[in-house]
Each structure stands twice: as structure tokens, then as C-alpha cells.
Structure 1
């Protein structure tokens, strides 16, 4: 586990106390449930629908979402929380916590409705109506923001399938949701919940999921306990700076052989532009009759938030015909 996390340890949990606390709680609860002395507590993760309504045990719907039972889901889910901590730095801890609470509530409601509807049509995908235990509602909604907000930087392809720095994250999510049909439904409900929150459907963003007084109290107490020191190299960059570092580190680890071949083809010094980019730049410079249109402010801001200098971003976008993915690749090569 530590080995896997080390490749993303550029800034650790700096300015991400909610992610740190959530990840710690996931480990503590799952570990406690696997200790023989506390194994009897597993019964509180059992939630069978519609029995909980008939017996007046609606609280089981919430208790079922406290912890994963499968160690595989725990490890993969914790890695995903660690990767997604970039959103806490971007939104702020209060807004990020509100997002997590809202998405968990919406996901759970959708899960319950799905089970009841399937039972109405005599379709059993949940082994008799059991709600899958685990906080799927705080993990899979973040995939929506991950898809739209984190730039896709192509690295290589295998059998025509593009492999990017985001591929590993998607594979981890697939690993968590592929346990059974029930967990796949929970994951899909989480994605729908993420869409609800992102586009403010039914005005869910206006609901005070985490009241201000509670956020201030947590900031004065828990935030200090969960605070992490800044990295030795300096404070973390805003928003997507960490993502830029992750792309570089993942490239070096996963694509080492391909990178070695590229290095042999490079003319010399570090920071040299990739041969493909040299050809691309050459074609643009040799065709001055068709100048590129200026890049939009949204394109510039996307790359500036990754930590690149604004003027370098504008130059890269102009060179790459305002293609954000290609400009990102060029900026990474020049770093």
C-alpha cells in the first residue's frame, strides 16, 4: 500500500484534512470489523429491504454505508480517495465535505429506490434485497468531476486503446464496482449523484449539507488533528498542480520502456521536445499563411491551473493549434 501511494506522495494530504480523515476512518472501521473481538458488529452493516421499513430499523440504511467489508474494496477505495484529494484543495474542505455528504445521501436514496423497483418487477440482483455495504456514495460521484475537470494527457496506446495518466484511476473504480451486480448498481447510482450535484439538479447545491457552525467547529478541532505539513519542496500548487506531477510520475513508472525508446531518439539535453512535437511545431512554423486563432481564456486557465506559466501556456496553445491535450503534452516535455 505504501509503495503504491509513494508515487503520488508529492504533497501527501497537505490541505486535505477531510480526505485524510475519511481514508483513516475507512481503514479503522474495516480493520475493526475484521478483529474477532469486534466481529459481532458486522450485523449492523446488514440492511435488507424492505424489512428495515417494516421493522422500523431505517437507521440500518445509514449504518450499512459506514465501512467496506471486502479488503479489496477497502484498498481500491482508499487509493481513489487519495487520488481525488486534489478536489478538496480545489473546492476547499467545507465545500468538499458538503459534496461528500450530499453525494452519499443521494446515492443511498437512489440505491434504495432501485432495489425496491427491482423487487416490484421480481428482479433480484441484490441477493434478496440486501443493500451493498460500503461508502460507494463518496467515491463514485467524484469520477464525474475527475472526468470533466482533470485534463486527459495521452501517453501511449496498446492495441489501439489509448493509455493515459487517468487509466489507472478508472481501473481502480472498475475493480471496486465489479464485485457483483449490486455493487455495479451502487457505483452507477454514485455517478448519477455526482451528475446531480455538478449540474445542481433539484438545487442540491443550495442545501446546507454541512452547516457553517459545524464546519467552524471541525476547523477548530479536527482540522488541527488531521493537518499535514507542507511538502519539503514547498507548498502544493493550486488545483491541478498535483495532477501535473502525478502525470509525470505515473508516466515514468508505467511507461518506462516506451520512454527509454523515446530517450534514445532524442537529440540531446534534458527538456528537449519530443520528436513528434518537433515535427508538429515545424509544420506550423512552415505555414505562416494560416496563423492560429488566439486561444480562449478557458483553455488558458485550464493549463494555468495545472501550474504552468501563463505566457508559456499561451505559446504552447498557439503552437498546437489550441489543442489542450497536445499543449499539455508539450508543456510536460519542456518541464
Structure 2
């Protein structure tokens, strides 16, 4: 089971960085008076060889409707970062951006049209619809004017609106994103090993990822987790949370609030493991999340 969880960008530093980057570039392009020229075109790539154009085109939206719909979806999909952790989510983000951009350039080569593709993080957003469709269950169903809806319908509706903001010039980047998300889902090129087997990037790539996406709050959270583990001296057999301690040493551990346990359960963790992690983290939800992620 997976829900959006607590409001804000808590436990979602990658999403926060993406939203801020997209907002800054979108506003900057709007102020410059040339937002429509942000997207990729055949002329830019194959005649002018302006490959650097791909960088702002990946993040900056070119119109207010796209901006509103895109920000809503980026914000909602932070649930996946909370589910798999920021480092693993960075792998997903980088792979989907690179793959979808490659497919957009390939589409331009086939179409040879002078029109400009819609700009913005279409690739990442529509790649996230793949795990949204597969992994997020329907929790409720209802009818409006005789039409059946689910609690996921609003996300699909906003995505459909974004997909058709620029007709086929936004449809193409959206479909390229879906294809990138599908490749990640089927583990093309072994990309999911970086998530499932905890394989680390080479040092240079890891440095780039941390500078682009991971905030200082993430590192401080890991430090806090390490300190708590050293002070608590709670054993980790087979890297899993196994024992329910009501106290550590002579320090009394308060019972975790049910709301915090429910938040962790909504992120996909077992209820007992969530309770134990919260007790070890002294009811710090952020630290408990990292304990559970590292215990997987």
C-alpha cells in the first residue's frame, strides 16, 4: 500500500530540488520572453548541433497550464522517493531523463519537422506513471454523474491534461517518458540492479548525483541515524529490525504515535518494523524512515 504520506518535502530532497530547479528555470524563461523556444527542435539538434539546449528543455515549462499540472504531478510522485529512498530515486530520475531525452531526439530525427517539442520534465513525470499504474493500488471507488472513478483518477486526469497541453508536441515527450519508465521497470541494461542490489555509482557519478539532488539535510539525517544506533547499541541481525525494545540502556523509549506508524506503513513498510524503527529513532519519523530503508 502506498499513499502520498505527510505533506511537504519531508523525506523527499530529490523532489524538492527538482521542483525548485524547474520553477527557477520556468520563471527565468518567462521573464526572458522566449519560453516557447526552450523545447528541442530538429534545427537545434541536427542543424545547429546545439545539444546544450537539452539541459533547460528538460526542466523548464513554457506555459502556466503546463507549470501547474507539472508541479502537481512532480509533488505527488514524491511518494516513490519516500518508498525507495533518495539515493535509489536519483537513479530512477537520471535514467528516465537521459532515456526520454534520447527518445525525443530520435523522434525529431524521424519527423524532421521545424516545430519545437514542449519543454519541461515530461520524461520524468510520465516515466513515473509506470510505477504509479503498477505499484499504487486503488483504495477507493466512487461514482459521479453515473461515471466510475477511483482515488487515482485525479492523477490520471492531470497527466492527460499535461500530455495534451501542446498537442502532439507535448504528446511526443510524454510518450518518450512512458517508454523510459517502462525500460526502467523491465530492468533494461540492468539499471534496477543499482536499486535492488544496493550497487553504488562510481565515485565521479555519485558526486554529480549528490551535488544535483541530495541536500545537506539528507547527510545530517544519516549522521543522526548513525549516532542513534551507536548510542542505542541495538543489534541488527541480517540487517533487519527484529526486536521490540521498550528501553535502551537506562533511557526510556516512548511508545511511537499511531500516526507515525501509519505514515511509515503507507510508505510500504511493515507495521511491526515501523514501530521498532520509531522506538530506536526516538520517534523521529525522518530517522526511522532511513533506518527502515537501510534495513531492506
TM-score scaled by length of structure 2 = 0.66
How has the CA–CA distance of structure 1 residues 227 and 150 changed in structure 2, closer, same or farther, with 3 Å as cutoff? farther
Distance of aligned partners of 1:47 and 1:27 in 2 relative to their CA distance in 1, 3 Å threshold = same
- Superposition pairs of residues 36-185 of structure 1, within 5 angstroms: 39=32, 42=35, 45-119=38-112, 124=113, 128-158=114-144, 161-179=147-165, 180-185=167-172
The structure with the larger Rg is 1
| Helix, strand or coil at the partner of 1:140 | helix
What is the total number of aligned residue pairs between the two structures? 226
User: 1:174/1:241 Cα in 2 relative to 1: closer, same or farther (>3 Å)?
Assistant: same
Question: 1:51 deviation in Å?
Answer: 4.3
The answer (yes or no) to whether the contact 1:141–1:192 under 8 Å persists in 2 is yes
**1:199 Cα offset (Å):** 1.0
Match of residue 201 from structure 1: 188
Question: What residue in structure 2 maps to residue 191 of structure 1?
Answer: 178
Residue 154 of structure 1, CA deviation: 3.2
Once superposed, what is the RMSD of the aligned Cα atoms? 3.3
Q: Give per-residue Cα distances to partners, 1:278-309, cap 9 Å, x unaligned.
A: xxxxxxxxxxxxxxxxxxxxxxxxxxx37768
Aligned mates of 1:111, 1:28 — CA distance in 2: 23
TM-score, normalized by length of structure 1? 0.59
Q: How does 1:272-287 map to 2 (within 5 A)?
A: none
Residues 66 and 135, structure 1, Cα contact 8 Å, conserved in 2 = yes
Please state if 1:20 is matched with 2:16: yes
Where in structure 1 are there 5+ consecutive unaligned residues? Answer: 1-7, 243-304, 311-335
Structure 2 gaps, min length 5: 195-200, 222-256, 274-296
1:219-234 matched pairs, under 5 angstroms: 222-224=215-217, 234=260
Offset at residue 44 of structure 1 (A): 6.5
Q: CA deviation at 1:15?
A: 0.6
CA distance in 1, matches of 2:191, 2:109: 23
In 2, the alpha carbon distance for the partners of 1:307 and 1:80 equals 27
